[in-house]
Amino acid sequence: MIQTARLRNLTDAPVRSEGRYVLYWMQAAQRAHGNAALEYAIAQANELDLPVLVAFGLTGFPEANARHYDFMLRGLAEAKRLLTRRGIAFVLKKQPPEALIRTLAADAALVVCDRGYLKVQRTWRAKLADGLDRRLVQVEGEVVVPIDVASAKHEYAARTIRPRIHRVWDEYLRPPEEVAVRRPATELAFESDFDLDRPEAIVAGLKVDQAVGAVKRFPAGETAARAQLERFLRQHLARYGDERGKPEAGVASLMSPYLHFGQIGPLEVALAVRDSGVSEGVATYLEELIVRRELAINHVFHATNYDSYEVLPDWARRTLADHAGDERPYLYSRAQFEAGATHDPYWNAAMLEMRATGYMHNHMRMYWGKKILQWSTGPEEAFETALGLNNRWFLDGRDPNSFTNVGWLFGLHDRPWGPQPVFGTVRSMGANTFKKFDAPAYVREVERLAAAEGDQTR
C-alpha cells in the first residue's frame, strides 16, 4: 500500500472506463522494482482489469551530455527487460515527455507519473496536467519523507529540517509492496524509436556534447545498483562513520549516480542500511541519505533560482562582495580548471577523477569547490565555473544535491565563520585538509581509476 501522503491528483478528471491500459510515465524513477509509482499503476490496472503501459520520452535535458545519456539508456534497457518479465509493456519515443504522454493518454484509463523537483521536471508535469482529460496521479517515491510532509517552507540548514524528518521517518520507512500483474500486456503493441540493446548507437546520434564520454566505473541499471549497495553493506558500512572523510579509504557507497537516475530508490537503500545488522556507520549514512539529500530537494523545490548565484544567503553574498577585491594567491580560467592545470597536485587529481570517472569523493568535492572560489577572479565567476564543471562531468550532476552542494561552497545552508581573505566569513578549506587523510594515496588511486578508463580525458 502506498501512503496517501505520497499521492497527489494533478488533474480533476475522472478515470475513463473505456481506456485500453493504465499508463505510467516513467521519468524520475527509472526502474522496474522498488518503484512506488509503478506499483501504484499496477494496483490501479488490476482493479480495472487492464494492462500497464510504461512510456519514456527521450528529449533534451539541460546540460546533459553523452556520458549522462549513455548511463541512462543502459539503465532503461534493463528496466525494459525487467518490465517485460513482469508482463508490462514499455515504449520509448524521441519526443518531449509531456507531448508523448498526452498522446498515449488518449487511450488510457488513467495516467500515473513519478515526482521530480527540478524546474524542467515540474514544467513537464504542469504542461501535461494542463487540459488533460484523464486523471493524472503523481506518486512521490524518490524521497523517504514526502517533501510536503517534511516542511512547507525553504529550510535554512540541516539543523532546521532534521527534527521534522526524524519525527516522521519511521512512518515512511516502509517499502512499496510489489504487486503481481493480473492482466499481462500481451495485446499491447508499441514500437520504440530506438533499439535499447544498442545504447552507444543511440547516443552517437544525439545532438549532445559528445566530448564527455561514457565511463566504466559505474555499470548502469538497477541490478548493478543493488550489487553496489550489497558490496557497501558487506565491506564498508561498518567503517563508514570513522573513515568516510578519507577519500583513499574507499568506503563511499557510490550510490549517487544510481539515485540520480532513479535506478534505485532512496527508500530501498535506507531500509537495506537500517536492516543490515551492522551497528556502526548506520546513523551517519542515514543522515546523509535522508536528511542531507532531502534538504537539497527542499532547497531546489522552494528556491527556483537554485542555479543562480542570487540564491545564496544575503550574508554570504555581502561578505564575498566585500572581499571581491582581495588578492588571490593564484588565478585560473575555467579552461585551466577543467584541464586540471593548477599548481596543486591534489586538486588536479580530484579534477581528473571527475573527468575520467564521473565521480569525486565528497570530501574532495568540498576542497575542489572551495579552491575554485579562492582561485577565481570573483565569486560570481567561481560559482558559474563550479556549477558548470559539476554539471558537465559528474554522472550525478544536474541533481538537487549538485545545485545545493555548489551553493554550500559559497555559504548556503551554512553559517558565518572567522574572516579570511577572499572568503570573508564564508567557510574556507586549506592545507590542513590533507593532514586528515593520505593524500598521496588518493592521487595514486585516481591515477589507477583513470588508467582503467583508458585515461582518454587528459
Note the pLDDT tens digit of each residue in 418-430.
999 999 999 999 8
306 with 312: CB under 8 angstroms? no
* End-of-domain residue from the set 141, 167, 195: 141
Does any domain span residue 13? yes
What is the pLDDT at residue 80? 98
Compute CA distances 396 → 141, 153, 218, 226, 439, whole Å. Answer: 18, 25, 11, 17, 24
Same domain for 361 and 234: no
* End-of-domain residue from the set 288, 303, 318: 303
HEC-encoded secondary structure of 34-59: CCHHHHHHHHHHHHHCCCEEEEEECC
Same domain for 111 and 24: yes
Model confidence at 435, in pLDDT bands (50, 70, 90)?
Answer: confident
Q: What is the CATH number of the domain that holds 249?
A: 1.25.40.80
Does any domain span residue 199? no
Same domain for 342 and 392: yes
What is the H or E stretch that residue 123 is in? Answer: helix 119-129
User: What's the DSSP call for residue 420?
Assistant: B
Does any domain span residue 458? no
121 with 146: CB under 8 angstroms? no
372-418: pLDDT as tens digits: 999 999 999 999 999 999 999 999 999 999 999 999 999 999 999 99
Same domain for 325 and 417: yes
413 with 299: CB under 8 angstroms? yes
Does residue 456 or residue 152 have the better pLDDT?
A: 152
User: What average pLDDT does the segment 304-318 reach?
Assistant: 98
Same domain for 383 and 340: yes
User: What average pLDDT does the segment 189-212 reach?
Assistant: 96
Please check the confidence at residue 161 and state whether its pLDDT lies above 80: yes
Pairing of strands 136-139, 7-9: antiparallel
Compute CA distances 172 → 40, 177, 207, 304, whole Å. Answer: 16, 13, 41, 26
9 with 133: CB under 8 angstroms? no
The range of the structural domain enclosing residue 285 comes to 143-179+221-303
Same domain for 351 and 292: no
* End-of-domain residue from the set 113, 141, 169: 141
User: What average pLDDT does the segment 228-247 reach?
Assistant: 96
Question: CA Rg, the chain, in Å?
Answer: 22
11-29: pLDDT as tens digits: 999 999 899 999 999 999 9
Same domain for 17 and 109: yes
Does any domain span residue 188? no
Same domain for 295 and 158: yes
Same domain for 442 and 322: yes
Please check the confidence at residue 455 and state whether its pLDDT lies above 90: no
Number of compact structural domains in the chain: 3
Q: What angle do CA 340, 342, 346 make, to 5 degrees?
A: 75
Same domain for 423 and 332: yes
Same domain for 397 and 432: yes
Same domain for 137 and 100: yes
